[in-house]
Homo-oligomer: A and B are copies of this chain.
Amino acid sequence: MTDPIAFYFDFASPYGYLASTQIDALAEKHGRAVDWRPIMLGAAMKVTGGQPLVQIPMRGDYSRRDMPRFARYLGVPFEFPPVMPILTLAAARAVYWCRDRDPELAHQLAKALFHAHFGEGRDIAQPEQVAEVAQTLNIDEQNLLQAVQAPEVKERLKAETGAAIELGVFGSPFFIVDGEPFWGADRLDQLDRWLESGGF
C-alpha cells in the first residue's frame, strides 16, 4: 500500500484550482490516493516575504494572461472571481470540519469550492457562499455555518497550516509524494514522471 499524494492549496490560488482539476486523475493512473489539505497561504507568505501575485507590478499583468491561458491549455473552465485574492478561512475550515466526518465528502466539497471560485468566478469569501456550495452536496448549511465559527475548527486550520509550513510548504499548489516536494501546477508533468519511474 503506497502513501497518498499530499496536496496543499489555498482556495484563493488560481494555480491551485488548475491543479485541482488534474491531480485526482494523475494519482489514479499510478494507484495513489490524494490527501487534499487546504491551508492559509498568507501564513507561509509571512515567512517567504511573498505577496499576492496579481498585486505585483508586471508579474500581476502577466499572471492575469497566464491563468486563463493555462486553463485553456488544460481544457478546463476559468472565470476571474470579482475579488482576488479572497480570504479563504471559511472555505478551508469547512473542509476540515467535513473531513473528520466524511473524508470523501470533504474531497468533493473542496473540488466544488475551487470550481465555484475559479471555474464559475463566484466569490466564496463569505461563509454563506461556502454553505451554498456545500448544500449542493447535501451538507447542512446551518451546521456548516456554526462549524466554521467553532474554536476547535479554527484551531484545526491553524494547526494544519503550521504543520504544512513545517514540512516546507510555501506555495499553492504544493505536492509532497514520498517525501519529495513539487510546487506549482507546472510541476504536474514532473510529478507524473516521478510516480511513473519512482524518481529521476
Question: CB within 8 Å of B: which residues of A?
Answer: 44, 47-51, 56-59, 61-62, 65-66, 69-70, 72-73, 165, 168, 170-171, 181, 183-184, 186-187, 189-190, 193, 200
Contacts and interface: CB of A to CB of B under 8 A. Distances in A.
B200 A72 contact: yes
A69 B190 contact: yes
A184 B186 contact: yes
B168 A61 contact: yes
A170 to B, nearest CB: 4
B168 A73 contact: no
A168 B58 contact: yes
A58 B170 contact: yes
A69 B200 contact: yes
20 contacts: A44-B58, A47-B57, A47-B58, A48-B56, A49-B56, A49-B57, A50-B56, A50-B59, A58-B168, A58-B170, A62-B170, A62-B181, A62-B183, A65-B181, A69-B190, A72-B200, A73-B190, A73-B193, A186-B187, A189-B189
A70 B190 contact: yes
Per assembly, the copies of the chain total 2
A62 B50 CA distance: 15
A41 to B, nearest CB: 12
Contacts of A50: 56, 59
Given A50-B56, A184-B186, 17 more contacts: A47-B57, A47-B58, A48-B58, A49-B57, A50-B59, A58-B165, A58-B168, A58-B170, A61-B168, A62-B170, A66-B187, A69-B190, A69-B200, A70-B190, A73-B193, A73-B200, A189-B189
